[in-house]
């Protein structure tokens, strides 16, 4: 009798283990927020990227085929440093990569990035390591119609589809730019909300989440408050939007625009890089781009300014503005610049650091880095990437895509019940 009972017990235990294993397997499939689209317009967006190894500024830029200066300004790194494009950035540094988000096959994504394969690359190493989980091996295989992933030719030019969202450039009707963020093992949704000056509810709404649970490797869309532009349609940089706490370079490296910290009004001025530029003086005035004049009168303060109005046909467009304000504005404030980082602060590896902009370190302090906590430990890569465009349409997140865990918990529950009744 006791023998029979224990055989039954072990059979059930085995079953239980198998079910638990099933949970393990199904649980690691992760997802990204997908925005359906129909128009052909594009927008500015950001990718949250953690360096997989030490890389020069120019190497990171070429990995994503973007302008190295734009990479630096997006991360509020001082571009006046000598030879800054050849500066070596440390492994595990977290950077915001500025990209153009397009509408392809009905969903928002960026398809302007290509990667040339090198010896010993595999689809997984390209996806999980080199591109930090922003793309999955499956997405690479699909996008490049690779039938046999085990044979990658060296020098093969792969398109790297990258996740992005526009959501009309707004969040709760306020200007915002969206960061595609790969969830790291230590992240919680609440900590991410705090780090990016938003709320848990807002993140859950944006990502259409039913709960605040997130998994490693999930890709979230994080809205960052931003300064919107209002350039005419025909301007090459129409729709320029600059996230709070950073800069953008435009007009052929002639104009530098900033956003924050005091208000979210876009402020642009001459970039003073060594390039030849068209006139940056406002017509019928002696004001230059970015100049502001104030005149205190009895009725208030007369504020005049020469503003940037876009780049069209190689010409820097300017607009003179005049207004009467209750009080005269103080001098323009700028987001603090940091020196090109050489180390990843230890604290940021183990705990979610505050935003680089909120730690109040003075300009050019090398310690105030652009590293809001990559959660990855040395050598540990997220095991899994997102599943690509699985659904047609709606944005979804982990918990919604995964009906199986619920099913399996129910199964476990009934098995446990069964087992208890057997033993008794």
CA angle 141, 144, 150 (to 5 degrees): 45
- Asked if residue 264 binds ligand NAG (CB under 6 A), the reply is yes
> Which whole-number Å values give the CA distances from 132 to 93, 118, 181, 242, in the listed order?
11, 17, 10, 24
In whole angstroms, the minimum distance from the beta carbon of 179 to ligand NAG comes to 13
**Residue 234 touching ligand NAG (CB under 6 A):** yes
Helix, strand, or coil here: 224? strand
Cβ nearer to ligand NAG, comparing 169 with 375: 169
Q: What is the rounded distance in angstroms from the CA atom of residue 350 to the CA atom of residue 345?
A: 10
How many CB atoms lie under 10 A from the CB of residue 119?
A: 7
Q: Which is nearer to ligand NAG, 149 or 304 (CB)?
A: 304
**What's the min distance (Å) between Cβ of 87 and ligand NAG?**
23
Cα separation, 351 vs 233, whole angstroms: 44
Question: Among residue numbers 281 through 340, which ones bind ligand NAG (CB under 6 A)?
Answer: 288, 290-291, 312-313
Q: Does 225 bind ligand NAG (CB under 6 A)?
A: yes
Q: Does 21 bind ligand NAG (CB under 6 A)?
A: yes
Cis peptide before 261 (omega within 30 of 0): yes
The CA-to-CA distance between both ends of the chain, in Å, stands at 13
Question: Cβ of 238: how many Cβ atoms within 10 Å?
Answer: 15
- Using the contact rule CB under 6 A, the part of the chain among 97-105, 109-117, 148-156, 165-173 near ligand NAG is 165-173
Alpha-carbon span 274 to 35, nearest angstrom: 40
Beta carbons within 10 angstroms of residue 233's beta carbon: 8
Q: Which is nearer to ligand NAG, 24 or 157 (CB)?
A: 24
Nearest residue (CB) to ligand NAG, 162 versus 316: 316
Q: Which of 189, 357, 371, 398 binds ligand NAG (CB under 6 A)?
A: 357
**Of the candidate residues 149, 270, 329, 354, the single one contacting ligand NAG (CB under 6 A):** 270
Among residues 303, 363, 308, which one has the least CA distance to residue 334? Answer: 363
Nearer to ligand NAG, 68 or 375 (CB): 375
Name the residue nearer to ligand NAG (CB basis): 232 or 366.
232
Stretch that binds ligand NAG, among 70-78, 167-175, 180-188, 392-400 (CB under 6 A): 167-175
Radius of gyration for the alpha carbons in the chain, expressed in angstroms and rounded: 25
Residues that bind ligand NAG (CB under 6 A): 21, 24, 28, 168-170, 197, 225, 234, 244-245, 260-261, 264, 269-270, 288, 290-291, 312-313, 357-358, 383
């Amino acid at each position: 009798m006791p023998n029979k009972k224990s055989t039954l017990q072990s059979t059930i235990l085995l079953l239980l283990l198998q079910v638990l294993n099933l949970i393990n397997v199904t649980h690691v499939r992760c997802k990204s927020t997908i925005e359906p689209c129909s128009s052909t317009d594009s927008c500015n967006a950001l990718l949250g990227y953690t360096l997989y190894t030490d890389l020069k500024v120019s190497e990171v830029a070429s990995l994503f085929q973007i302008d190295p200066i734009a990479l630096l300004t997006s991360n509020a790194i001082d571009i006046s440093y000598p030879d800054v494009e050849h500066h070596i950035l440390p492994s595990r540094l977290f950077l915001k990569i500025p990209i153009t988000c397009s509408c392809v096959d009905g969903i928002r994504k960026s398809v302007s990035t290509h990667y040339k394969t090198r010896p010993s690359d595999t689809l997984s190493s390209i996806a999980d390591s080199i591109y930090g989980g922003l793309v999955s091996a499956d997405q690479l295989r699909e996008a490049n119609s690779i039938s046999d992933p085990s044979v990658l030719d060296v020098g093969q030019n792969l398109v790297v589809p990258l996740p992005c969202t526009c959501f009309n450039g707004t969040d709760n009707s306020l200007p915002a730019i969206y960061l595609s963020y790969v969830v790291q093992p230590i992240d919680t949704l609440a900590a991410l909300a705090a780090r990016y000056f938003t709320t848990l509810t807002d993140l859950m709404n944006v990502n259409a989440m039913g709960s605040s649970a997130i998994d490693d490797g999930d890709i979230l869309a994080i809205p960052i408050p931003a300064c919107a532009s209002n350039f005419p349609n025909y301007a090459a940089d129409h729709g320029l939007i600059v996230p709070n706490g950073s800069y953008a370079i435009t007009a052929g490296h002639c104009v530098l625009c900033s956003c924050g910290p005091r208000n979210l009004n876009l402020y642009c001025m001459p970039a003073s890089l060594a390039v030849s530029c068209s006139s940056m003086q406002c017509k019928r005035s002696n004001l230059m781009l970015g100049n502001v004049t104030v005149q205190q009168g009895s009725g208030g303060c007369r504020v005049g300014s020469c503003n940037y109005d876009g780049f069209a046909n190689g010409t820097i467009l300017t607009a003179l503005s005049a207004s009467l304000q209750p009080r005269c504005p103080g001098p323009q404030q700028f987001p603090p610049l940091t020196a090109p980082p050489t180390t990843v602060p230890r604290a940021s590896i183990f705990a979610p650091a505050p935003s680089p902009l909120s730690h109040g370190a003075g300009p050019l302090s090398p310690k105030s880095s652009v590293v809001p906590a990559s959660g990855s430990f040395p050598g540990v890569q997220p095991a899994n990437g997102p599943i690509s465009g699985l659904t047609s349409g709606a944005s979804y997140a982990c918990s919604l895509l995964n009906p199986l865990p619920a099913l399996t918990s129910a199964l476990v529950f009934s098995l446990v019940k069964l087992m208890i009744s057997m033993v008794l």
